[in-house]
């Protein structure tokens, strides 16, 4: 391990969903703005090997990294805030830890020892804690421990954190505990007891938090901070208030105001390389909060009751909207509620429509009807992954005159399978990690809308799918006005389809939303927003 690397661990208590990921990303952003190279990793206590097979309702979207890892959606926050890429090493689950240990045991690597949670599981967790620090690329590695202190499934991780302190030494190790200070309306009082109990559980596990970050809806008065400091064994200036923010992108500035980065640097004996440079970030926030126009965009999908299922898409619209000083009002529309009669009422007021990714047949016909409506009524359309496939099926049925056209995912016996399985997918038995995953190259056709958006002939984009456009139908599509504007140069597979005589009709087989960040909004989203603004003017 690079001895110069400092390690910060972020734990959570009282309740889940307090925003450990946003606090981790905000702290990393502040340290990065001071010139430190920083990365963040997430350790999840569930037994799935990765989130790839989890229903989005269970855990929100599955985020995909450049190297094809299916990961927790918090890694999306890390990349959006830091503008740097993450990898398989940045997300580890209990499932992966146990899988590694059991694989070693089966190979006989433990030389007949009894394999136990301590030391074998905790050693494997620590090995993964320190992995990114060993590369020598990072000054600071921030590790977010998923779940809540006190959960049975989190115990081995908390024990590994306790041990890590002794492996790393005094000034290389820091624990931040994120907790909740509830406000009891009846008593008109902020209550510190849940936080005291949470810290007590950490202390029982042998960990003394260095900094408390307190989520609250009301400002913490000095006497409340003093009480927390006294009962939780932390310095008064290390009780940090984290008020609810208007947008997650405010949090780095709020944490700077609370001096979180300064407290961390003083405890880790880090001396700042540069002054905090957050000018671009502030510029983005200025454009985000002071839009000069607004558009209404419908997001059609089947998981709309949980917006986290489309987290990266929603954030990509925030970035692209800010780039055009435009407020994007996203209306989430369930594809299962869309049928021919209901569509005009639901879609006519929209300036643009995006059909989201997904798997399975549920809601497919609703998506097809929505695409037909926006194509025929010249409303800007953007399809992502399954959204592009739906656009292809709709075009085949209604323009090419193939009424039974379909994807073999939905109808294996379709006489016109315009979307089908790649050859190397046909014999796949397992679900997890077996799709086309990660970054692949794509060559763009000059003069196309995609080329205009990117402004260059070659791009790389991230994928997460099994089914592809069936090239046997390519000529028929081109003759009828839908053409491929992006092709994978290695496989000849279609990556982007466009309709020529339309204000903006584009479907992408890849997931552009994964690469959109605060400082580099994704060109396709930016161009789509511009098309919706233009379309609104011509209405």
Residues designated as active site: 385, 511, 513
Q: Where are the alpha helices (DSSP H) in 180-297?
A: 193-204, 222-232, 251-257, 260-267, 279-289
388 is in an annotated binding site: yes
Q: Whose structure tokens read 């992502």?
A: 384
Tell me whether residue 480 is annotated as binding: no
* Residue 135 is assigned to a ligand binding site: no
The response to whether 20 counts as a known ligand-binding position is yes
CA separation (Å) from 457 to 157, 439, 446, 473, 486? 46, 16, 7, 24, 9
Known binding residue 358? Answer is yes
466 is in an annotated binding site: yes
Measure the CA–CA gap between 169 and 4, rounded to whole angstroms. 11
Q: Are 299 and 310 in contact (CB under 8 A)?
A: yes
133 is in an annotated binding site: no
Q: Which residues are CB-contacts of 128 (< 8 A; sequence separation ≥ 6)?
A: 43, 89, 92, 97
Provide the β-strand partners of residue 505. 381
Is there a binding annotation on residue 243?
Answer: no
* First-residue to last-residue Cα distance in the chain: 61
- The distance from CA 199 to its chain's CA centroid, rounded to whole angstroms, is 29
Separation of CA 433 from chain center: 17
334/446 Cα distance (integer angstroms): 36
* 254: number of Cβ within 10 Å: 16
Residue 60 assigned as binding residue: no
Q: Is 144 annotated as a binding residue?
A: yes
Listed as own residue / partner, the contacts of 218-225 with beta carbons closer than 8 Å and 24 or more positions apart are: 218/183, 218/190, 218/243, 219/243, 220/181, 220/190, 221/190, 224/181, 224/190, 224/192
154 is in an annotated binding site: no
Please give the C-alpha separations between residue 453 and each of 204, 319, 356, in angstroms, as whole numbers.
56, 15, 20
- 96 known member of a binding site: no
244 is in an annotated binding site: no
Query: Do residues 518 and 281 make contact, with C-beta atoms less than 8 angstroms apart?
Result: yes
Is 394 known to sit in a ligand binding site?
no
The whole-angstrom separation of Cα 152 and Cα 119 is 17
**The total number of residues written for the chain in this structure:** 539
Taking the C-alpha atoms of residue 180 and residue 197, their distance in angstroms, rounded to an integer, is 11
Q: Is 152 annotated as a binding residue?
A: yes
Q: Is 258 annotated as a binding residue?
A: no
- Please name the residue ranges forming H helices in 290-429: 311-323, 343-347, 364-376, 386-398
Whether 308 has a binding-site annotation, put simply, is no
Find out whether 32 is annotated in a ligand binding site.
Answer: no
Ligand-binding annotation for 46, yes or no, is: no
Q: Is 417 annotated as a binding residue?
A: no
To the question of whether residue 143 is assigned a binding role by annotation, the answer is no
Q: Does 182 show up as a binding residue in the annotation?
A: no
β-partners of residue 487 are 443, 494
Q: Two tokens at 312?
A: 């990266």
Q: How far is CA 87 from the centre of its chain?
A: 13
192 is in an annotated binding site: yes
Instruction: Give dist(CA 401, CA 396) in Å, integer.
Output: 6
Is 16 assigned a ligand-binding role in the annotation? yes
Annotated binding residue 151: yes
Angle between helices 155-168 and 94-107 (to 10 degrees): 80
291 is in an annotated binding site: no
Q: Pick out the residues of the known binding site.
A: 16-22, 57, 74, 144, 151-153, 191-196, 227, 245, 358, 386-389, 409, 466
Q: Pick out the residues of the known binding site for CTP.
A: 16, 151-153, 191-196, 227
Q: Pick out the residues of the known binding site for Mg(2+).
A: 74, 144
Q: Pick out the residues of the known binding site for L-glutamine.
A: 57, 358, 386-389, 409, 466
Q: Pick out the residues of the known binding site for ATP.
A: 17-22, 74, 245
């Amino acid at each position: 391990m690079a001895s110069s690397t400092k390690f910060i661990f972020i734990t959570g208590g009282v309740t889940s969903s307090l925003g450990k990921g946003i606090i981790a990303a905000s702290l990393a952003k502040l340290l990065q703005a001071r010139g430190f190279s920083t990365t963040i990793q997430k350790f999840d206590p569930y037994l799935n090997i990765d989130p790839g097979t989890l229903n989005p309702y269970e855990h929100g979207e599955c985020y995909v990294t450049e190297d094809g890892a299916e990961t927790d959606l918090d890694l999306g926050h890390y990349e959006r805030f830091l503008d740097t890429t993450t990898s398989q090493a940045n997300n580890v689950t209990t499932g992966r830890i146990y899988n590694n240990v059991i694989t070693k045991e089966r190979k006989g690597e433990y030389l007949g020892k009894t394999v136990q949670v301590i030391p074998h599981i905790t050693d494997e967790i620590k090995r993964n804690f320190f992995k990114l620090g060993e590369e020598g690329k990072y000054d600071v590695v921030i590790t977010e421990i998923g779940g809540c202190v006190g959960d049975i499934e989190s115990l081995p991780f908390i024990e590994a954190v306790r041990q890590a302190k002794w492996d790393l030494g005094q000034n290389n190790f820091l624990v931040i505990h994120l907790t909740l200070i509830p406000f009891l309306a009846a008593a008109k009082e902020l209550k510190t007891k849940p936080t005291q109990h949470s810290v007590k559980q950490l202390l029982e596990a042998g960990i003394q938090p260095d900094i408390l970050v307190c989520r609250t809806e009301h400002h913490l008065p000095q006497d409340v901070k003093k009480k927390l400091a006294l009962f939780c064994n932390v310095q008064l200036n290390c009780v940090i208030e984290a008020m609810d923010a208007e947008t997650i992108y405010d949090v780095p500035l709020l944490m700077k105001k609370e001096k979180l980065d300064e407290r961390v640097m003083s405890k880790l004996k880090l001396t700042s390389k540069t002054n905090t440079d957050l000018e671009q970030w502030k510029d983005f926030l200025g454009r985000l909060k002071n839009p000069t126009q607004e558009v209404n965009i419908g997001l059609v999908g089947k998981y709309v009751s949980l917006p986290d299922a489309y987290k990266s898409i929603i954030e990509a619209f925030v970035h692209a909207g800010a780039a055009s000083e435009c407020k994007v009002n996203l209306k989430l529309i369930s594809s299962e509620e869309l049928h021919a009669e209901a569509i005009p009422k639901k879609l006519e007021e929209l300036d643009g429509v995006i059909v989201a990714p997904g798997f399975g047949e549920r809601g497919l016909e609703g998506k097809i009807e929505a695409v037909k409506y926006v194509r025929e009524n010249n409303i800007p359309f953007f399809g992502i992954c399954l959204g592009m496939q739906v656009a292809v099926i709709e075009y085949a049925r209604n323009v090419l005159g193939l009424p039974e056209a379909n994807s073999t995912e939905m109808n294996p016996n379709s006489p016109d399978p315009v979307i089908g399985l790649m050859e190397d997918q046909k014999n796949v038995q397992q679900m997890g990690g077996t799709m086309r995953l990660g970054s692949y190259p794509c060559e763009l056709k000059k003069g196309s809308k995609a080329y205009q958006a990117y402004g260059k002939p070659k791009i790389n984009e991230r994928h997460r799918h099994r089914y592809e456009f069936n090239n046997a139908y390519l000529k028929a599509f081109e003759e009828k006005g839908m053409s491929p504007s992006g092709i994978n140069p290695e496989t000849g597979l279609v990556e982007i389809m466009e309709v020529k005589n339309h204000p903006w009709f584009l479907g992408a087989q890849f997931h552009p939303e994964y690469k959109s960040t605060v400082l580099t909004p994704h060109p396709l989203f930016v161009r789509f927003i511009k098309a919706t603004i233009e379309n609104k003017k011509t209405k």
